[in-house]
Structure 1
Amino acid sequence: MIWMRFFLAVWFFTGSAVTLFAQEGKYKIREVEYDQDSTGKMIILKNLEYRRIYNDNSWGFIDQSGDIVIPLNKYKFLNPMDEEGMILAKKGNKEGFIDINENIIIPFLYDDVGVFSHSTALAPVAKGNKQGFINRKGELVIPLEYDYISRVVYFYAPGIAVLKKNGKYGVINALNETIIPFEFDEMKHWRKHGMITAWKGGKWTCFTPSGSPLSGYCNYRILSDSYSSRLPANSKDLPILVERNFQKNARNNNFNADSIKSEFAYLDKHQNEVVPFGRFDKAKNFGLGRKAIVGKNGKYGIINDQGAVVLPLIYEFIERPYHYSNYSNIFLVRKGSEVSIFDKQLNNISSERIIDYDLSGGSIIVTNTAKKKGLIDYEGHQQIPFLYDTLYAGAGRGKKYIATKAGKYGMLTAENQIIQPFKYSYIYDNVFVDLEGKCGIFDKHGRLKIPFEYDAIYPTWYDNFFPNKNTYIVEQGGKIGTIDDDNNVIIPLIYDGLSGWVEYGPMGHFAKKDGKYGLISPEGKVLISIAYEYVGLPAKGVCAVRKNGKFGLVSTSNQVILPCIYDHLYLDIPYFEIDFIDDEDLDLPLKKEKSLIVTRQGKKYTYYDINGSEIQTDVPMAEIQRKYGSNLMHFTDSNEHYDFDLKQKGGLQKIKEENDRINHLYLKGKNRF
C-alpha cells in the first residue's frame, strides 16, 4: 500500500502536524505533503488548495479557510489529492477513489489500491492474492494475474513494472507485454543507474530497462547504500560495488569467521571489472561527483567512474558528511593534524586551516588552529566564523546554535546573528539558565514566556493535548509537575518524578511519589494508582505492575485484571496493527497474532487474554522456550531505568553531565566502511 508507506515516512521524518479542535473532536493537520516523481524520488507538494486532517482512526480534508470539506469518521485513510483531482480512499476494508465532493470515481472494490504512476497513468490494484492495474476510468487494463504479497507494485520510468508471477520475477510494460521473462528468484530495478539486476540460482545478471541482456551471471554480492539521495543527479552507468569472500588460509578446512576475508571490485553493467578485486581493501559506493572513496592499508583516496585514482591514497580518512538522507556536496579529508574541504571536482575550498570538526546533529562545526569554533554548510561555505570557544547545534526547527564566549553562553543563528546575548551560565535545548541557576524560556520573538523560577525545564512531548500551546515538565524545590506556555500549572508540582518521552510509551507520564510508581495523563488524571514498585509499558490498554515483589496486570483505567501474585508476567502483545505497517523493506505476515498475557508461578506457566480470562494452563516449558526464549528471564523491571526518562530532583546537573559527554564525542578520524 503506497499510501501507508507514504504516511509512515511523513510521520517519522517530518513530524509536521498541527493539532486543532472542531465540533467533531480533536484532529491534526498535515502541514507537509509529498509525492513521488516517475523515478520514485520524493518531492514536496506545494500550493495545496486542500489539506488533509486526521485523528486516531480516520482522515478528512479542510480547505484553505480551515472549513471541513470531507469530515472525519468516514474514511480510514485518504491520500493527498492528485493532479487530476482524484483521492485514493479506504472505506471499511476496501479501497477506491473519490473526488473532493466525495463523488465515487472508482468504486471501493479492491483490498489494496495504489496511486497512479506518472510514467503510465496506471494504478495498481489487488484482490485476494493477485494484482493488476487500472486506468483513471477504473477499467482493469492489466488483469489480476500477478502475485500480490502484502503491498502493490508500481510502474516506474521508463514505463516498466517489476512483478512476480507464480513465484517468479519478471518485467512488463504498460501494454502487459513481457519485457523480461518471469523466471527469476529476485529482481531489482536500479532506476538511477538505468538497469535491472536479476538473480537466479544464487547468481545475478543485468538487463537494460527494455529487456536487453547486458551480462552473463556471477555470484558476487552487490553492495548498495540505503539512500538514493546519496547518488549524483547523473547516475547512469555508474560502476557497481561488489564483494566476494575467501578463506585466508586455503589449507585450513575448519571454518573460522576470522579467516574469512572480503575483497572488493567495481563492475560495469556488463560485469567487466572497472576496478579489479584486491586493488583496494576498503571501498564505498559511487556518489558525489561520480566518485568513490577507497582505501588500502589504512590510507584513503578517491577514484572516478573510470577507476582512476583522482585523489591519492595518502589520507588518514575521507568522508562525505550526511544526516539521515541529506548528503553534503563536499568531502572532508584528514591528513596528519589538518582537515581539508574538497568539492565534488576535488578542489580544496578550505577558507582557513582546520584541525578538527564535529558532525553531530547534521551540522559541520569546525575548529581552527586557535581552537576557536565555526560552522560550514553542506556546500563547504563558512557560515559562522571562528569566534567561539564552544559551538553546538540547538534543538527544534530552524537551526539555532549554542555558543560560549569568555565563559558565558549565548544563542545565534546559522548566519551568526545573535538571538540571545552571551550572559547565561548555561543553555540546553531552548532553555536558558541565569547566573543564579534558575531556568526560563523565551518565545520565538525573544520575549520571556517562562520566567526564571525553575530548577529545570523539559519538553513533555504531549503538546497535542493542548491546542496552540507547548507544555513542559518543570522542577521546583525538588518537586516535579507540568506547566503550559503561559506558566499555568497543569500537573501540580507534588511528584518526585515524571517521565518525559518514552519509546513505545503511553500518552501520559510515568509518575513517582514516595518511592512508588504509577501513570497519570497529560492533564494530571491518575490512570494507574501510584502504588506499585514497578509499572511497565502499556499495550492495548493493559500494563504489567509489581507489588511486594509479585507481578500482576492492570488496565490504564486503573482496574485490576490479574492480581499481583505472579513471579513474572509478560505481555505478548504486538505493538503494531498490520493495517498500520506496510514498508517495501519489511516482509510482514498477513495474519494478525493473538495477544497473550504469559504468567509464571514457580514452574507453572499460564496464558491469559488481555481481559484476564484463562486461555491455557500448564503450558509446556518447551513451548515457552520456543516462543519466548530469554524474554521471560531478562527484562527491565525498574522505572528508574534510563528508558523511562524519569525527570527527578537535580535534573539540571544531569543534563549538563550528559550534554558535556555528548558534545565532546567528536565524530572524527574514522571511515564509515
Structure 2
Amino acid sequence: KLPEPEKAEALYQLDNFEWFYSPNEDRWGLRKLSDGGVQIEPTFHYIEVDRELGFTLVGIEKDNKYEFERTTFRFDMIFGLVNNEVGLPITEVDFVDLKLEDLRQGYPLARCIFSDGKYGLIDRIGRIVRKEMAYVGPFQNGLARVSFQGRLSGSLKGDHSLGKLQAYLADMLSPNAMVDYTQYDQHFRKNAYLICESCEWGFMDTSGQVVIKPQYTFVKNMSKEVGMVQKGDKWGMVSRKGDQLIPCQYDGVEFLENTDEKIVRVYKQEPKYGLIDTLGQLAVGAVYDEIGSFSEGRLAVSQNNLWGFVDAEGKEVIPCRYKEVKNFSEGLAAVRQDNKWGFINKQGKVEIGFNYRRAGNFKEGVAWVSTERGYGYIDIAERFVIEPGFSRAYDFFQGRARVEVDGAYGLIDLSGKYVVRPKFSRIEPFNQYGIAIVRYGRERVRYEVMDLNGSLITKKSYESIEPFSEGLAAVRDKNGYGFINTQGNLVIADQYSRVSAFSEGRAAVYQNGNCGYINKVGSTVITFEYSRCQDFEDGRAVINKGIRNTGLIDLDGQVIVEPKLDRLLDFNEGRGLVRDEKYRFYYITEQEDLYRGYFQKASSFKHGVAVVQIDGKWGVINQKGMSVIPPKYDKIEGFIDGYAKVRVEGFNGLSNLKGELIAEPDYEFISYAGQGLFRVEKGDKVGYFDAAGKWVWSLNN
C-alpha cells in the first residue's frame, strides 16, 4: 500500500531527487527534481530513506539460502545503498543485512552481511573496508569480537553461543523463513543458538583494526577493562591490548555478581560429593570424588581413585588408600589393595590378608572368597569352612547361600552340603519371608518359589513372578496376572491384564483398558473407572482420567482432588507434585492450593523435605516451603535413611582485574557481601575476607 501523497512527498523527496514508484515495473526509481529526468531506472522493490546518514537503503527481491546446522532458511531480499546527495549507488546490492545503527552511534564503520553469509565492514561513503569475515559482533566498549575463519551455524546446545538464533534472524534486514517445516525444523528455529563453527576469535576496534589477534577458541564481549578468553577448554583473562592477565588454565572465568565488573571469579571444575541430613546439615564435607552409603557407622568415600571410610560425624577414620571397598558387615569390610582382596576392621586394621581374587561380605560368621581353585567360604580366622570349588558364590542368609556351578544355581548350608544341587538358571536372593523366586527352562522359561529347605512351594509354575510386597507377589500365566501368597498359593485369580505391587493393602489392577484397586482377598474396593492408577502412599493415590487429567483418591476411593489437574505426578506427606505445560514444577495441598511458587525441577516430599532446583542449582525445602538448604548445589540426590548425596561440580576463587589472585579456587561458594567483603563457604564452614584477601572472619561453623 502506497502512502498518502503528502506523506509520500515527505518520505521520498530528497534535496535534489525524489524516489518514485512505477506500477508497470512494480519497482522504485529515482528522478531529478530539477527536470524530472530519470536518475535511476525503476529497479528496487524496497526503499527506505535515511536522512540522518545521507543514504537510501534499497532492496531487490532475490532468494538466498543458508543452512544453520541441518535447517535451511531462505532470505528473500538483498540490499545496497544510494547516496542521497548525488543520487548514485555507492555499494553493490549484495547485502542481507546492514547494521547502520553502528554509524548512528558515531562509529566510523558499520557491520554488514553479504548474501553468502560472510561479514564485512563498510564506511560512511559506502566503501567496503573489510570483508570475508565469519562474524563480527556488536561493538562494546570500543571493541568487537571477530573471527576471520569459520562459518555461522546453529546448535541446540548453548556452548559458545552468540545468542538465540531466532533473535538473530529477527534482527536481519532481509525477510527470512525456513525452507521446510518439519517438526525438528520448528523446534530448532525456536530453541537453537547461533554459533560459529571452526572459528578463531580475537578483537577488532571501531576502525576495523585488529587489536587482539584471533587465536582463541572463544571469547566473551570485552568489558571496560578486560576480556574473558578461552583456549581449548580452559579460560583466562586478557587486557584490552591483549596482554595476558590470567592464563587460560581455569574451567570458568567470569565477573563476580554485584562487584561492578571489578572482581573476577575463577572456577576449577573438580566434581566432589558430600552428604547432608534432613536438617540441611553437612554430615560429610563435599571433598570426595564419590561416596557410598552408611553401614555399621562407616561410609565409604573416594579421593583420587582410592577408597577409605569416614564415621557418622564425617571424620575420615580410614584413609583413602584402597582400590576398591565394600560396606562393613559384622565388623569387617572387604577391601582391594593392588589386585588382591582382604578384610579390615572399623579402625582400619588388616584382619585378613590380601590373598584373594575377590571377596564378599561376612554373614553368619563366614564370607565367600575367590581363589585359583574357585569360590569358597572362610571364617574370621581365615580358615576355609567350605572349600573352594564353586564357579560363583553369594552371601549367606538364614543358614543358606546360593552358589553357581557351570552356570547353574544351587543352594548350600553352612557346612557346605547341598540343600539343592545346581540345576536352576537363576535363584533370586531370599527375601524377608525366607523364600526366593527361581527360574528354570531354556526354550520355555518358567518361574516358581523356593523355601529355605529347597522345596518348591508353588503349586504350579508361572510365566513370571514379581517380587513380594506385603506378603503377596504378582504372577503371570496364560489368562493374565494374579497374586500368590508366601505359601505359594494362588489367592487372587490370574484375570488382569496388568497389575502393580500391593501398597497399603491395595493393588492397582487393569481390565479392558481401565484400572481400579483390589484388596488382599481380591475384592474390588475401587471401581474400574480410571485410565491410570498409581500406588498408594500415606493413604493417597494419584489417578488419571484420560491422558492428562489427574486427581487424588483415598483408600476407600473417595475423591480428594478431582481428576482435572494436568500432570499431578505424585502425592506424599500432604503435598502433591505437579508439572505444568511449561515443564515448571510446583506443589499443591489437598485443597489444591498452589504451594510456594514454581521450580525448574522438584522431587516428592520424603522425611518432611523435598529437593528442588532454582536457576540451575539445587536446594532443600520443608513442608512449609521454607528453605532448609538454599539452592547452591549442582546436584542433590534423593534422601535415603535420612541422608542425601550432594555434588559440587567445582571450586571458586577470586582475582582482581590485574590478574592477581585474592583467593585460591578452594571454595564451594563465593559471593559479594557488600562493603568490600566476600563471603566464602567450605564444607559447613563460612568466612569473610576483604579485597586484599585478608580474613575478616576466618572459616567457622
Question: Is TM > 0.5 for Structure 1 vs Structure 2?
Answer: no
The structure in which a higher percent of residues are helix is: 1
TM range (shorter): 0.3 to 0.5
Q: Where is the strand percentage greater, Structure 1 or Structure 2?
A: 2
User: Rg larger in 1 or in 2?
Assistant: 2
TM-score, normalised on structure 1? 0.43
